[in-house]
Structure formats: structure tokens, C-alpha cells
Amino acid sequence: MGNETLITLVVAGAGVALGLLGLILAIAAKLSASQAVRDQEASQQAAAQTQSAQWMKDQELAGAIRVRSAMLEGVQRVKDSLTSMLHAKKGNLNKDAAYKAVSDTGRVFSKLTDDHAPKLEGDEKTAMLRARDVAIEAASRARSLLEEVADPADLSSSQRAELMRLRSELGEAQNVLRDRVQARLFKRVLEEGG
């Protein structure tokens, strides 16, 4: 073989080697690009799952707050009814209206706690059940006292003292329930910040 043929073969071999190297680099680049796309898709999917989980937590928290708000409002209604009875003047508080106001309490609180207490744990559940029990006890006792008198203004001093005690217990239960809601919100804020 002549030098020209040898040079041609070397150049052709180098061309084939460079072609193979180019092919290998192209395949590697394609695989790398495919991996980058898969990584990006996985990242987007993880972000969507995180966003979905966050949305679920937000919905659960919003529902919990609505329930606690309903409980707090119910406790406040009973407290308001007791206050009306305590400050009643002869003829200014309709006994039937006062009786009805406290009578609906048991049903409302039982429904709220039956529906939502099983989903709660620890202090929140204890606070909710305590608020319910105190409100039902206060409403029941208020109904009994209303049945004993012709007019709420006719309550004796011992009956008024009992209503004041129950109103005070309601206030304590209401504060504990409110504290649990605030603690949950604070915990949520810390989770988002951390």
C-alpha cells in the first residue's frame, strides 16, 4: 500500500472514530435532556402534591375554625341568655323566649360535637367536649329555674348565684376553646414559616 492509501485509511478511520464519538455524545446529550425533562416533571409533580397537601391542610383548618366558631357562638348565646335572666326586671323578659333560647342549646351542641369531636385529638377535643357539657348543663339548669318562677325577675338570690356560677364556667370553657383555636393557628403559622 502506498502512502496515499495509508493516509486515506487513517483519515477515514479518524472520521469514523469522530463520527462514532459524535454519535455517542449525541446519544448522551439526548439521554441527559430526557433525564432533565423527567426531573422537571417529577419536580412539578412534587410541587403539585405539596400544593394539594397544603390546600387540604387549609381546608381542614378552615373547617376546624368554623366548628370552633360555631361552638364559641353557641356558648356566647347561652351566656347572653343567662345574663338576660340575671338582669331581668319584672315584665321585661319574656319567660317563653328565654326558655326557648336555652332549650335549643343541647341539640346544637350535641350535633356539633357528634359531627366534629371524633376528628379532634387531645386538648382540642377536651376543650370542645367541656364547652358542650358546661353549655348543656347551664341551659338545662336555666330551663329548670325558668319553670320554677312566673317571671325571670322573680329568681331568688341563690338561683341568681347559681346562674352566675354557670355563666362564669361558660366563660372559662369559652376561653379554653378560644385558646385551642389560637394555638392551632399559631402552630400552622410556624409550620408555614419553618
Which domains occur in the chain, in start order?
Answer: 45-193 (1.20.120)
Instruction: In whole angstroms, give the CA distance from residue 139 to residue 162.
Output: 12
For residue range 115-129, list pLDDT tens digits in order. 777 776 777 778 778
For residue range 50-63, list pLDDT tens digits in order. 777 777 777 777 77
Predicted pLDDT of residue 135:
82
Give the three cell numbers for residue 13. 478511520
CB 135 within 8 A of CB 166: no
Q: pLDDT tens, position by position, for the chain (194 residues)? A: 677 887 787 777 878 888 888 888 888 888 888 887 788 888 788 777 777 777 777 777 777 777 778 778 878 888 888 888 888 888 887 778 777 777 777 677 777 777 777 776 777 778 778 888 888 888 888 888 888 888 888 889 999 999 999 999 889 888 888 888 788 778 877 877 65
- The pTM assigned to this predicted structure is 0.66
CB 142 within 8 A of CB 163: yes
